[in-house]
Structure 1
Amino acid sequence: MGAKKRMPIASLETNFMKQQEVSMRRAAKRKKLLIRRLSVFLVLALALSYLTISSYISRTSLLEAKKEEKVRLEATLAKLEKKQTMLENEVIKLNDDEYIAKLARSEYFLSDKGEIIFNIPEQKKKEEEDEVPY
């Protein structure tokens, strides 16, 4: 039960066999060069894909940051525009003498000649005083 012994096969040294060996070597060499070219192409394709994807990701994150900043700035702009209209209305009111007189009476307790100013507590303060238990 031993392993069968293989007898070496002698190769024929004919022109046909030489041509076949040369042809097989050329085919092996072509296959080897093809594998090398495909490997180089694959490496270049992977590098280009990596650069493209990383650029896309960084641009996307930058775009999101810019969108957030835009929303924040739009909110600030809306507040500032509202404040500007309020200030413009205040300027218009301050150009009116009657408004200035009313403001001076209420805020600074100024009066015209012969007027007496009485300080009446506001409604909220009055309600709070009424609710205090004795």
Structure 2
Amino acid sequence: MNQEEPNKIEFLENDYAKQHYAQQVKKRREVIFRRRRLALVFAIATVIFLSVGISLFNDYLRLQNLEKYQSEAVATQEASKEKKAKLEKEVDLLEDEDYVAKIARDRFLYSKDGELVFPLPE
């Protein structure tokens, strides 16, 4: 390209042009300020939502652990109740002398007077 004349555009230096240029600069600054303020609001909202979301997730995990612990405790309680009922029944049976004598004959091969015991292989 040939060297052409320098830029032929000249800016007006009157009051109207200066005022118009000042208004444009002011509008640009306002737009930039609004964008920055909006970005800040979004950043703050994001931080708040993230913190609330994380705390909700942690509470959910804690709730799951507590429900698991509760179900285990309920199962243990039911097993203990069943075991207690069996033991109470056995205590009631052990208070009966005939039952105790029968158990002694079966387990320890005791016999009544004049009775013969023949152990059989199992």
Counterpart CA distance in 1 for 2:61 and 2:3 is 68
Which residue in the other structure is 2:54 paired with? 54
Unmatched 5+ stretches in structure 2:
none
Which residue in the other structure is 2:75 paired with? 75
Which residue in the other structure is 1:11 paired with? 11
Q: CA RMSD in A?
A: 2.1
Counterpart CA distance in 2 for 1:101 and 1:34 is 97
Which residue in the other structure is 2:116 paired with? 116
Larger mean Cα displacement after TM superposition, 22-31 or 58-67: 58-67
Shift of 1:83: 0.9
Shift of 1:102: 0.8
Shift of 1:89: 0.8
Larger mean Cα displacement after TM superposition, 111-120 or 3-12: 3-12
The alpha-carbon distance between structure 1 residues 20 and 64, as it changes in their structure 2 partners (threshold 3 A), is same
Q: What TM-score does the superposition give when structure 2 sets the normalisation length?
A: 0.82
Unmatched 5+ stretches in structure 1:
126-134
Larger mean Cα displacement after TM superposition, 67-76 or 16-25: 67-76
Counterpart CA distance in 2 for 1:101 and 1:11 is 124
Counterpart CA distance in 2 for 1:4 and 1:46 is 54
Counterpart CA distance in 1 for 2:3 and 2:101 is 124
Deviation per residue, 1:62-121 (Å, 9 max, x gap): 222222222222222222121111111101111111111111111122233333322233
User: Using CA pairs below 8 Å that are at least 6 residues apart, which structure has the higher relative contact order?
Assistant: 2
Q: What TM-score does the superposition give when structure 1 sets the normalisation length?
A: 0.76
Which residue in the other structure is 1:131 paired with? none
